[in-house]
Structure 1
Amino acid sequence: MMPSPLHSSPLHASAPASAAPTARRPALDIARGLALVAMALYHASWDATYFGFASFDLLRDPAWLAARTTILSSFLLLAGIGLALAARGGLDRGRFLRRLGRVSAAAAAVSAVSYVLFPDSPIFFGVLHHIAVASVIGLAFVRLPAAVTLAVAAGALLAGLSLSFPLFDSPWLRWIGLVSVEPDSNDFVPLLPWIGVVLAGIAVGRHWPGIGDGAATATRAGRALAFAGRHSLAVYLLHQPLLFGVAWAAAQILPVQPPAVRDFLGSCIASCEQAGVEPAICTANCHCIRAELDRSGLWDAIAANRLDERSQLGLRSAAAACHGP
C-alpha cells in the first residue's frame, strides 16, 4: 500500500522559533498538497484493484513502482526541509515534542487499524513511523554543514539499497532495513534507505534557507493545495478510509470480483475441467472451496500465494469437503 503522508512538526516547513509564527512557506505548502493529491490517486488505484474494479499491477509494474517511490520521496524530502527550517534560530522544543507526539499517535493508530483489517500484511513501520523516528535522528544534523549531511544521506541510500543481512529479518530489527526478505506489509518504509531522503531534505533546507518563501498563491487551486499541505496529517489519516469506504460501498452494489478471486476460480475451474469433470460441477466445486477457505480464515493466505503447511492442509480439507464422499 502505499506511501505516504506527512504532517508538520518536525515535518512542516515552519518559520524559525525566533521569527513570527505566522510566517508561512506557501510554495512548500503547495508542494505538500500536490504530493497529497498524488498519494490519493495512488491509493484510489490500490482500492480499485483490491475490490476488482481495475487490475493495476502496483507491486511489479515499473511505472507504478516509480510512482510510489516518487510520491514517498517527495514527502520525506519535504519533511527534512521542514525540520531544517524549524530549527533555524533555535528549535522550539515544546512545539517539536507536541507535533512529534501527534505523528507518533497517528502512526500507532494506523498500525492498530491495519492489524484489524489486514492481519497478514499489517503496517508496523510505515511512513508515519519513519517520519517520527527520522525527525528525532535528524536533529543531530540540523546544525551540521549541508555537505556533511548530504554525504551521510548518500551513504544511507547506498547502504539501504545494496546491503542485506538475514539478521535484520527479525521482527525486532526489520524496521531498520537491510532485510534479506521483504516483509508482508501494506506500507513498509524502513529506516534504511529512506532516511537518506530525509537527510537530503535537511541538507537542502540548510543550504537554501529561503526555499518556499514568497507571496501566497492567488489561484483557487493553489489555495486549496496550500490548505491541504498545511493540514497534511489530517488529510493523510482521513483520505484512505474515505476512498476505501467508497470502493467498498460500490463493490456491494456492482457485480465485481476482486482479481485474487477471479484468478483462483479461473485456475481451479481450468484444472478441474482438465481432469475430465463437467464444467458445471467444476464451477460449483470451486466456488464451494473458495467459500470454505473464507469460512476457515485461510483465504487471505491462499490469495496471497503464501502456501505454508497450514494453508495447504486447509486447501486440501476444503477441496475434500466440497467434493463430497
Structure 2
Amino acid sequence: MDFRRGDDGIMSAVDGVPAQGSTPGTAGGSKTGGSRRPAIDVARGLALVAMALYHASWDATYFGLARFDLLGDPLWLAARTAILSSFLLLAGIGLVLATRDGLDTGRFVRRLGRVAAGAAAVSAASYALFPDSPIFFGVLHHIVLASIVGLAFVRLPAALTLTAAAAAVLAGTSLSFPVFDGPWLRWIGMTSVAPESNDFVPVLPWIGAVLTGIGLARLWPGIGEGVAVTGAARRILALAGRHSLAVYLLHQPLLFAIAWAAAQILPVEAPAVRDFQAACVANCERAGVASATCTANCRCVQSELARNGLWEGFVANRLSEREQRGLEAAVAVCRKP
C-alpha cells in the first residue's frame, strides 16, 4: 500500500486511504479515477466543519458569550452524535479501502502512532486546562483502538460485521455495570455513572460506528469512486479532509483563543460567575432574605474571593483549610450591614 505523505488526516492517518496516482493540482490531490477517492476526503472535510461549529459553540458557552444547552438540549445531543458518528463511520470505510490489497504493517503502525501522539497531546492539554474534566479517552484515543480492532473485520462478511456493530451499539446504550465506573475500565463503556470528561468516546457503543463503516465498505466496494471534486469550496474541503489530524489538533486551540479574546473585550459574565450568583441568590432567598440583599451579598462574596485570589480554587472545589477560612471571612464581610 502507498501511504503518501500528504495523506495524514485523522481518518487517513489511521486508515491510510491510499493515494496512488495522486498528482499535484488535481481535485483533492488525486486524479479522478485514481485509487484515492476525493469524495471521501470531502465527506471528512464536511465532518470537520460541523465539528468546528460545535466546538465554537462550546467555547462561546464556556466563556459566557452564548448560552447553548449542549448537554441537555436534544438537538445539540443529536448533533454531537451525528458529527462523531460520521468521523467514526469514515474511519471504518477508510480502513477497508486501505487494506483491500493487503496491509503495509510498517506504514500503518507509523500512521497509527501519529494519531496516538495526537491523542496524548489532547489529554495532556486537557489535564492542564480542565483538571476536573480531562479527556482521557476521546475521539482520537477511540480511533487508535478501533482501527486495531477493525483489522479483524476487514475480511469478514459484511453481514457479520454489521451484526457486530448493532450488538456494540445495543450493549453500549442499554447496559451499565458499576464495575466499569473505575478508572481502569471506564474507557470500555457501560458505566453506571458518566465520567467527568470534556470528550468521552468509550469503546461501547461508539465502535459500532466504525464497524458500520467497515460493513458498508464491504457491501459497496466502489464507495466514493469516480466522483470528481470541482469548485473551490469542495477542493478546500477535500484538502482539509486529507489533513484532518492537523486540522483537528489545531482548530480547537485557535477557536478557544478567539473566544477567550472576545470574552476579554465584550461585556460578558463568565459562566462560573453566573452559575455561582444564581445558586448563591437562590440559597439566600430560601433563608428568607430579600432578593435585592441576596444579590448584593452574593456579588460581594464573589468580588472578595476574586480580590483575595481564592476564586479559581473555589470554583474548582480545591480550597485548602487556610483558604476555606478566607472564604468564611469573605462571607462575614459581605454580611455586615
TM-score normalised over the length of structure 1: 0.88
Cα distance in structure 2, aligned partners of 1:263 and 1:122: 21
TM-superposed deviation, 1:33: 0.3
TM-superposed deviation, 1:262: 1.2
* Kept in 1: contact 2:85–2:209 (CA 8 A): yes
| Aligned twin of 1:318 | 327
Q: Could you say if the C-alpha distance between residues 12 and 148 of structure 1 is closer, same or farther in structure 2, counting changes exceeding 3 Å? A: same
Q: How does 1:228-267 map to 2 (within 5 A)?
A: 228-267=240-279
Matching residue within 83, 99, 106 for 1:87: 99
Q: How does 1:59-208 map to 2 (within 5 A)?
A: 59-208=71-220
- For structure 2, the residue ranges without an aligned partner over 5 or more in a row are 1-8, 23-29
Cα distance in structure 2, aligned partners of 1:156 and 1:61: 25
Q: Could you say if the C-alpha distance between residues 291 and 213 of structure 1 is closer, same or farther in structure 2, counting changes exceeding 3 Å? A: farther
Q: Per-residue displacement from partner, 1:272-293 (whole Å, max 9, x unpaired)? A: 4642584645532343246668
| Aligned twin of 1:297 | 313
Q: Per-residue displacement from partner, 1:85-143 (whole Å, max 9, x unpaired)? A: 11101111122111101000000000001000000000000000000000001111111
* Paired letter, 1:323: A
Q: Could you say if the C-alpha distance between residues 182 and 312 of structure 1 is closer, same or farther in structure 2, counting changes exceeding 3 Å? A: farther
* Kept in 2: contact 1:121–1:185 (CA 8 A): yes
Query: Mean Cα displacement is larger for which, 57-66 or 270-279?
Result: 270-279
Q: Per-residue displacement from partner, 1:22-71 (whole Å, max 9, x unpaired)? A: 63211111000000000000000000000001000001110000000000
Matching residue within 12, 27, 42 for 1:8: 12
Q: Per-residue displacement from partner, 1:220-273 (whole Å, max 9, x unpaired)? A: 111010000000000000000000001111111112112331121233245446
TM-superposed deviation, 1:297: 1.5
* Kept in 2: contact 1:9–1:83 (CA 8 A): no
Cα distance in structure 1, aligned partners of 2:297 and 2:194: 40
Cα distance in structure 2, aligned partners of 1:316 and 1:13: 59
| Aligned twin of 1:275 | 289
Q: Could you say if the C-alpha distance between residues 281 and 105 of structure 1 is closer, same or farther in structure 2, counting changes exceeding 3 Å? A: closer
Cα distance in structure 2, aligned partners of 1:245 and 1:113: 14
Percent identity over paired residues? 65
* Kept in 1: contact 2:11–2:94 (CA 8 A): no
Q: Could you say if the C-alpha distance between residues 281 and 167 of structure 1 is closer, same or farther in structure 2, counting changes exceeding 3 Å? A: closer
CA RMSD of aligned residues (A): 2.5
Q: Could you say if the C-alpha distance between residues 54 and 93 of structure 1 is closer, same or farther in structure 2, counting changes exceeding 3 Å? A: same
TM-score normalised over the length of structure 2: 0.85
| Aligned twin of 2:67 | 55
Q: Could you say if the C-alpha distance between residues 214 and 287 of structure 1 is closer, same or farther in structure 2, counting changes exceeding 3 Å? A: same
* Paired letter, 1:157: V
SS in 1 for 2:272: helix
TM-superposed deviation, 1:216: 2.9
Cα distance in structure 1, aligned partners of 2:88 and 2:312: 41
* Kept in 1: contact 2:11–2:90 (CA 8 A): no
* Paired letter, 2:289: A
* Kept in 1: contact 2:302–2:311 (CA 8 A): no
Q: Could you say if the C-alpha distance between residues 131 and 296 of structure 1 is closer, same or farther in structure 2, counting changes exceeding 3 Å? A: closer
* Kept in 2: contact 1:80–1:201 (CA 8 A): yes
* Kept in 1: contact 2:99–2:154 (CA 8 A): yes
* Kept in 1: contact 2:165–2:211 (CA 8 A): yes
Q: Could you say if the C-alpha distance between residues 166 and 99 of structure 1 is closer, same or farther in structure 2, counting changes exceeding 3 Å? A: same
SS in 1 for 2:47: helix
Q: Could you say if the C-alpha distance between residues 291 and 204 of structure 1 is closer, same or farther in structure 2, counting changes exceeding 3 Å? A: farther
Matching residue within 220, 229, 240 for 2:232: 220
Q: Per-residue displacement from partner, 1:145-196 (whole Å, max 9, x unpaired)? A: 1111111111111111111111111100100001110000000000001001
* Paired letter, 1:284: C
Give the paired residue count: 311
Q: Could you say if the C-alpha distance between residues 87 and 291 of structure 1 is closer, same or farther in structure 2, counting changes exceeding 3 Å? A: farther
TM-superposed deviation, 1:200: 0.7
| Aligned twin of 1:211 | 223
* Kept in 2: contact 1:79–1:201 (CA 8 A): yes
Q: Could you say if the C-alpha distance between residues 267 and 181 of structure 1 is closer, same or farther in structure 2, counting changes exceeding 3 Å? A: closer
